[in-house]
């Protein structure tokens, strides 16, 4: 309890899946949360549900398309006007596609790069001045095990998630003296709607490879993100956290 007391967080792609688990957990730990997503109705419903449970307006929803600088500015403005500042950014929004190198169209490439890679950079660029005003902050960029190792498909996804890993380290080095910490989180196979596009037989095959023999839950990723968001991680920056049931160790 209270590990984020007095802190204000912005979570991109927060309407469902891992982002929603983080929004619920952060508020339980004392934070105020702005949920940004393109899924406006789901984001609003979640913010209402969280606020009702907290007995106060602990969460609000904003329309945030992470590829648009104006949306990011409006989201950070909401954090400041509604709650008084910004301490934590979770760059969680992302899309997944299963297309190998030659099957990736230029349009698909641009879409994935814009959301998964440009979106993370834009989020950090917009959040840093607001965090500076608070004397520091914590940025958690959600990469993937696909940002650490390759596979036969999902070329653009691998490329963007690898970029998120090093974007995080570059920003960590740049802002360390300003007390703004930046870390990347690398989930493995996590039970959210994102992986419903994996054919069932392929998904079952994954389970046999996974050392823990099962998919992770959004809450299991959220627990690691909470640690990085909190002052418990005060000496942790530029690091990568694998949350994959042992997959990357195989």
Ligand X SMILES: NC(=O)c1ccc[n+]([C@@H]2O[C@H](COP(=O)([O-])OP(=O)(O)OC[C@H]3O[C@@H](n4cnc5c(N)ncnc54)[C@H](O)[C@@H]3O)[C@@H](O)[C@H]2O)c1
Q: Which residues bind ligand X (CB under 6 A)?
A: 12-13, 15-19, 37-39, 64-67, 92-96, 115, 142, 144, 187, 189-190, 192-195
Least CB distance to ligand X at residue 103 (A): 19
Beta-bridge partner residues of 69? none
Whole-angstrom Cα distance, residue 201 to residue 13?
Answer: 28
3-state secondary structure 60-119: EEEECCCCCHHHHHHHHHHHHHHHCCCCEEEECCCCCCCCCCCCCCHHHHHHHHHHHHHH
Whole-angstrom Cα distance, residue 150 to residue 240?
Answer: 17
To the nearest 10°, the Cα dihedral for 250, 191, 167, 174?
A: -100
Q: What is the DSSP string of 143-183?
A: --GGGTS--SS-HHHHHHHHHHHHHHHHHHHHHGGGTEEEE
Nearer residue to ligand X within complex by CB, 5 or 204: 204
Which entry of 26, 72, 96, 157 is annotated as an active-site residue? 157
Least CB distance to ligand X at residue 56 (A): 24
Least CB distance to ligand X at residue 192 (A): 3
Least CB distance to ligand X at residue 205 (A): 15
Token pair of 52 as six digits: 């009702």
Nearer residue to ligand X within complex by CB, 155 or 192: 192
Nearer residue to ligand X within complex by CB, 154 or 237: 154
Nearer residue to ligand X within complex by CB, 18 or 168: 18
Whole-angstrom Cα distance, residue 79 to residue 75?
Answer: 6
Nearer residue to ligand X within complex by CB, 94 or 137: 94
- Reported residue count of the chain is 250
Least CB distance to ligand X at residue 54 (A): 21
To the nearest 10°, the Cα dihedral for 168, 215, 156, 172?
A: 0
Residue 157 bears catalytic tag: yes
Residue 68 CB neighbours (<10 A): 15
Active site residues: 157
């Amino acid at each position: 309890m209270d590990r984020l007391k007095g802190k204000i967080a912005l979570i991109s792609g927060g309407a469902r899946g891992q982002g929603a688990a983080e929004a619920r957990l952060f508020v339980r730990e004392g934070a105020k949360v702005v949920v940004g997503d393109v899924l406006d109705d789901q984001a609003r419903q979640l913010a209402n549900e969280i606020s009702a449970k907290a007995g106060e307006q602990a969460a609000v929803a904003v329309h945030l398309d992470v590829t648009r600088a104006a949306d990011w500015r409006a989201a950070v403005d909401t954090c400041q006007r509604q709650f008084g500042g910004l301490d934590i950014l979770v760059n969680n929004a992302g899309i997944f596609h299963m297309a190998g190198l030659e099957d990736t169209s230029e349009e698909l490439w641009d879409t994935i790069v814009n959301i998964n890679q440009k979106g993370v950079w834009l989020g950090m660029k917009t959040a840093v001045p607001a965090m500076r005003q608070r004397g520091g902050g914590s940025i958690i960029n959600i990469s993937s095990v696909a940002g650490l190792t390759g596979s036969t498909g999902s070329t653009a996804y691998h490329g963007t998630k690898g970029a998120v890993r090093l974007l995080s380290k570059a920003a960590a080095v740049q802002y360390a003296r300003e007390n703004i910490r930046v870390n990347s989180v690398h989930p493995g196979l996590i039970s959210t709607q994102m992986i419903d596009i994996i054919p069932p037989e392929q998904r079952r095959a994954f389970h046999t490879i996974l050392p823990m023999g099962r998919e992770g839950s959004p809450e299991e990723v959220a627990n690691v993100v909470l640690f990085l968001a909190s002052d418990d991680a005060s000496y942790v920056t530029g690091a990568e956290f694998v949350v994959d049931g042992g997959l990357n160790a195989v």
